[in-house]
Each structure stands twice: as structure tokens, then as C-alpha cells.
Chain A
Amino acid sequence: MVVRAADRAYRVSLPALLVTLALLVIAGLVSATRGAAGLPVGGVVSALLDAVPWVTVDSDLTTSQEAILWSIRLPRTALSMLVGAALGIAGAAYQGVFRNPLADPYLLGVSAGAGLGAVLALGFDLDLGFGPFSAVPAAAFTGALLAVSGSALIARGSFASTATLLLSGVAMAALFSAAQTYALQQLDETRAREALSWLFGQLTAHGWDEVLLLLPYVAVSSVVLCVYARHLDVLRLGDDEATALGLRPARVRLVVIAAATLVTAAAVSVSGLIAFVGLVVPHVVRMLTSHSYRVVLPLSGVLGGAFLSSVDVGARTLVAPAELPVGVLTAFVGAPFFAFVLWRRGGSR
């Protein structure tokens, strides 16, 4: 019995993996078929299979439906999944590294920095664009990295104390938020509305550009974070015990925070601020499976993708032909759920 328990330890159970992958596939299909112009599920599945090398399937989709699927729906579905995965996995990583279940990807001033960058790009035509980055993503990305670097500098770059890092993040977030508010105040109504719309979060894909922009960050950061998941499990014992077990907590924190921040900044730069995904999804994974970061990190990525893709369907269809900012909808769904989780935790103590 003990041997079997030891074999199961720290492993993603097959049923949990299959269920989350199934949710991702279902969410993807719903996202690809629902919208202003509905697409037949069978036709979409056939078209997707037809795109697989050496597989030929007649999709039954008309030329315009094919165009909608490949140029609008699938890029947006892929983008929502990538942003959801990025926020989910980054949220789990932050919670692990700060040993705080309330930590989220926007900790350390990422959101305030990105917000200021985007407001400056949208309102004051700041253009930091380079390569595949257009002006807004580039400014948001730069702002996010500046804010996090500021937080790390205030904490003297040692990454030795989680409390110092958290407090320095609070200070930087306050500073960048104040600058963002001031910048917004200086804008005319049209530009201010445009900037606010970005701040509320939006998943507007212009073809596959945003997807291709985000993909390498999500891929690299996910690999790094999953490699470090084992170290996050050791960190749960506290720094002293982790050190006595041969770990170097400061180095682990540095790598994990760098990877989580980079993927968050990349996600924010293409989608704006989407709240609660990074906070709620890891909690759901913990409730349903395990508290081990070797399980929580990968499954938060998969479930984050499924969650944001589903919510985006709601954002596109609930008030059609208009569209709700997806960040508002994730907050509507996430906040009550999170309140419920906290209430349940409080009741169980």
C-alpha cells in the first residue's frame, strides 16, 4: 500500500489529465463554432482534421465559413487559450513562489506597468514597436517589465524575502497606477475610452499575429515553470527547511518570478488586463486534484486555456452584436467563485 502511495505521489492522475484536456477540446470547439455567424460543429471538426497532414476529409463548410473559421475564429480561440494558459500557469507559479494563495499574475506591478504603457501608447502615440510587436503590446510589455524590475530593485534584487518582494510590488503598483490615472485624465474622451477598453481586457485577434507573438513566451515559460514545479513543492516547507534539503530558495524565486512575469507581460501585451484567471484556476485545480505544484502548474495551464476560451464565447455572444470586455466577464465569474472558495475555507477552520 505504501509503495503504491509512493508511486502515485506528485504525479498527475490520468483521469484528471483526460478531464482537463477534454474540457479544453470542448471549450475550443464551442469557441470556434459560436459567434455572430454560427458554424456547424461537424464541419469545423472535419476542417480541422483536413488540415492534419496526410488526412483528407471533406469539411462541408462554404468558402466564407472556411474563411471565418481560419481567419477569425481559430486565431481568437487559440489566442484566448494561450492567454488563459499563460495567466493560469503564471498564477499558480506566483502562488507557489510567494507561498500565498492570494498571489496572482499581476503581483509585483505587472498590471499597473502594462496599463501605463498601453495608456501612453493609445493616448499619446508612444511607439516602442519593434519586430512583430506593434505599439500597444510593445509599450505594455515594456511597462510591465519596468514595474517588475522596479519591484526587484526596491527589494535589492536579492529575492531573499517574499514579504519584501510583495511590499515592493505594492509600492510599484501604486506608483504606476497613479501615473496611469494621471495620463488617463489628460486624454480626450475617445482616446480615454479606447484606453479603458484595453485596460478591461480584450481578445481581438488580427489574424494569427498575436498568437504567433505569444506562443514562444507561453511555450518557453511553461517548460521552465514545469521544470521548477518540484522546487516549488520543496519551497512549501519554508526557506530554512528547503535550504537544509539542498535547495537554493533565492535562485528558485528568481527563475520562477522571471518566467512567470515574462509570460504574464506577454499575455497582457496582447490581451489587456484580464482579472481572476490566474487567481481562480489554480484554486480549482487544487480543489479537484492535488496541492502539488507538479500537478497544479500544468493543469492550471490547460484549465486556464479552457476557462478563458469559454468566457470569451460569452463575451462575444451575450450582448451580440456588441461585445463585452472579456476582463469584465472573468471578474463577474471569478469574483463570486473566489468569494465562495474563501468562505468555504473560512468555514472549514
Chain B
Amino acid sequence: MRLRATDLRVRLRRTEVLHGIDLQLEAGEWLGVIGPNGAGKSTLLKALAGVLRHTGTLRVGSGPRATRIALMPQAPLLPEGMSVVEYVLLGRTVHLGWLRGETRRDRRIAAEVIGRLGLDELADRPVTSLSGGEAQRAVVARALAQQTRILLLDEPTSALDPGHQVEVLSLVDDLRRQDGISVIAAMHDLGSAARHADRLQLLAAGSTEAVGTPRQVLDPVVLSRVYRTPLDVHRLADELVVLPRRTTTTRRNTA
């Protein structure tokens, strides 16, 4: 077991927004966290990453949280005037002492990660000049430079076109298989979640509605209730596709 959270609760401005979430993650596993807007997906990820305070127990190993878990935020800030290599080097932050800057080893690790993600030619470019796909690869590179065993992705493809969505998710999937990294990804696209995740955890209003394999969780009745709209689940070339049910809207004439 790489991570086990029990009865995780988060309060924001005196209001409880996560109500006792249980979650577990195996080595090399991809857990997809799905649910409608406001379900608590990002809050859960931020709590796991130590960004938000929480109650409940979280077992993830000893040492600072940032040595165990890396977070790829939904809308990463790309600072003006910062080069790709400088951005990736920030992933080494938790491994540095208060007085000590990056060592030769830290710089080598950043260079290796950049090479691995095919960002060599862009190493000196400002991160603000990158395209959406390139920027997302830089963010993945920074997370990999952190050298954690768990990667949290918060809506990693929300700002990308379909081509770059496939590229980024496949990249993370490949890294997971090669390095044995465990992934927890909050995702809106239920089809992509079903394709990449070993298990799905469906959240609604800060609580878990269902956990299991994509086939178990993507139940049209449960999904329709949670998303408050009629949804159908189709199987297409052995993949699950979730589509809104086509309905005829009738308008009531109140005149």
C-alpha cells in the first residue's frame, strides 16, 4: 500500500467541504477521481499534497510530504522570465537545505528529466513562451524532478486540445509503467478517466459515492444522479464512453 487516507475531512472558512473520505492507492496504480464541479476533487488532491489542512489519518510514509507526493495543479503559474530549466529545478526544492542551493546532482536530475520529456531544445526558453502542450510537459518535468513515488494530477488536460490531452495523459501513463509511480488524477473527461485509471473514485458534494473499477463505477444510474443529468454509458471498441442522453426539451407555455 503506497497511500492510505482514512476519514479525511477538510474545512474551508468554517464549512466542511470534504466529509470523511477514505482512499487507498497501490504501488504503480492510477486512481481516477471523478465527480461534478464542486464535488471536492481539487480539495482532496490539495489535502493529500499538504496544501490544505485536514483531519483524519494519512499514511504515506515518513519524511516531509513533498518528498512523497508531487502535485500538478489545475492551472500552474508560469512565472515571467523563468526558463524551462529553472522551472524544472524548482522541483528539487524539498531536497535542498535552508542554506544550500542546488548541487551538481540536483542539476543533473533536472537535465535528465528535461531530456526524458523531450524538452532539450526548450531548456533555455522562458516557460511563458511555451505552447499549452509544451508547458504541460514542463509541469510534468518539474513534478518528476521532485522524485516522488506519488503524482497528483489536478485536471491535467483541462486547457489542452484533444491531441495534447492524449499526449500528456499517455506520457504520464508511460512514466507510471516505467517508474512504478502511483497516480491520482482528478479528471472531468470520464472517457479518459476510464481509459487510464485502474480504479475510479466518484465524489459528490465532498463524499465518496462509489469506488471500483471503471466498469463498476461508470454506472449510468449513479452517474445520472450525481451529475444531475441523464447520462448513458456506451462501449466503443472496448472502451467506455459516457455521453449525455439525448432528450427532447418541452417548454411549458405558461401564458
Residues of A within 8 A of B (CB): 1-3, 5-7, 9-10, 227, 230, 233-234, 236-238, 240-247, 286, 290-292, 294
User: Quick check: A227 and B99 within 8 Å, CB to CB?
Assistant: yes
Report if A2-B82 is in contact (Cβ < 8 Å); known contacts: A10-B89, A230-B101, A234-B90: no
Nearest CB of A to B17, in Å: 16
Report if A291-B80 is in contact (Cβ < 8 Å); known contacts: A2-B85, A2-B123, A3-B107: yes
User: Quick check: B98 and A245 within 8 Å, CB to CB?
Assistant: no
Contacts of A292 in B (CB 8 A): 82, 86
Report if A233-B90 is in contact (Cβ < 8 Å); known contacts: A2-B111, A227-B98: yes
* Chain A CB within 8 A of B60 CB: no
A2 to B50, CA, bound (A): 32
Contacts of A234 in B (CB 8 A): 90, 93
Q: Which 8 A-B pairs have the closest CB atoms?
A: A291-B81, A246-B94, A246-B66, A244-B71, A6-B107, A236-B79, A245-B93, A5-B123
A236 to B86, CA, bound (A): 12
Residues of B within 8 A of A (CB): 46, 49-51, 64-67, 69-71, 73, 76-77, 79-83, 85-86, 89-91, 93-94, 96, 98-99, 101-102, 107-108, 110-111, 114-115, 120, 123-124, 146
Contacts of B124 in A (CB 8 A): 5
User: Quick check: A6 and B51 within 8 Å, CB to CB?
Assistant: no
Add 13 more A-B contacts to A5-B124, A236-B79, A245-B146 (CB < 8 A). A9-B86, A9-B89, A10-B101, A230-B96, A236-B77, A241-B76, A243-B50, A244-B49, A244-B66, A244-B71, A244-B73, A245-B66, A291-B82
Nearest CB of A to B134, in Å: 15
User: Quick check: A9 and B79 within 8 Å, CB to CB?
Assistant: no
Contacts of B98 in A (CB 8 A): 227
User: Quick check: B146 and A6 within 8 Å, CB to CB?
Assistant: no
User: Quick check: A246 and B46 within 8 Å, CB to CB?
Assistant: no
Nearest CB of B to A259, in Å: 14
A5 to B50, CA, bound (A): 31
Contacts of B111 in A (CB 8 A): 2-3, 5-6
Report if A241-B71 is in contact (Cβ < 8 Å); known contacts: A236-B77, A246-B66, A246-B94: yes
Nearest CB of B to A70, in Å: 38
Nearest CB of A to B64, in Å: 5
Nearest CB of B to A122, in Å: 42
User: Quick check: A245 and B94 within 8 Å, CB to CB?
Assistant: yes
Sample 13 A-B pairs with CB under 8 A, ordered by A number: A1-B123, A2-B111, A5-B124, A6-B108, A9-B89, A10-B101, A240-B73, A244-B51, A244-B71, A246-B64, A246-B65, A291-B79, A291-B82
Name which residue of chain B comes closest to A7, CB basis: B107
Contacts of B80 in A (CB 8 A): 291
Contacts of B85 in A (CB 8 A): 2, 5-6, 9
Name which residue of chain B comes closest to A236, CB basis: B79
Nearest CB of A to B128, in Å: 10
Residue in A6, A10, A230, A237 whose Cβ sees the most chain B Cβ within 10 Å: A6
Report if A240-B51 is in contact (Cβ < 8 Å); known contacts: A7-B107, A245-B91: yes
A292 to B51, CA, bound (A): 24
Contacts of B120 in A (CB 8 A): 1-2
Contacts of B67 in A (CB 8 A): 246
Nearest CB of B to A312, in Å: 31
A5 to B82, CA, bound (A): 12
Contacts of B94 in A (CB 8 A): 245-246
Report if A244-B70 is in contact (Cβ < 8 Å); known contacts: A6-B111, A227-B99: yes
Contacts of A5 in B (CB 8 A): 83, 85, 111, 123-124
User: Quick check: A2 and B115 within 8 Å, CB to CB?
Assistant: yes
Nearest CB of A to B52, in Å: 9
A128 to B164, CA, bound (A): 65
Contacts of A2 in B (CB 8 A): 85, 111, 114-115, 120, 123
Contacts of A294 in B (CB 8 A): 101
Name which residue of chain A comes closest to B42, CB basis: A240
Contacts of B77 in A (CB 8 A): 236-238, 241
User: Quick check: B89 and A6 within 8 Å, CB to CB?
Assistant: yes
Contacts of A291 in B (CB 8 A): 79-82
Nearest CB of B to A35, in Å: 39
A80 to B86, CA, bound (A): 34
Contacts of A244 in B (CB 8 A): 49-51, 66, 69-71, 73
Name which residue of chain A comes closest to B70, CB basis: A244
User: Quick check: A286 and B86 within 8 Å, CB to CB?
Assistant: no
Contacts of A241 in B (CB 8 A): 71, 73, 76-77
Nearest CB of B to A255, in Å: 10
Name which residue of chain A comes closest to B125, CB basis: A5
A236 to B83, CA, bound (A): 13
A247 to B108, CA, bound (A): 22
User: Quick check: A237 and B90 within 8 Å, CB to CB?
Assistant: yes
Nearest CB of B to A83, in Å: 28
User: Quick check: B90 and A240 within 8 Å, CB to CB?
Assistant: no
User: Quick check: B102 and A10 within 8 Å, CB to CB?
Assistant: yes
Nearest CB of B to A205, in Å: 35
Contacts of A230 in B (CB 8 A): 96, 101
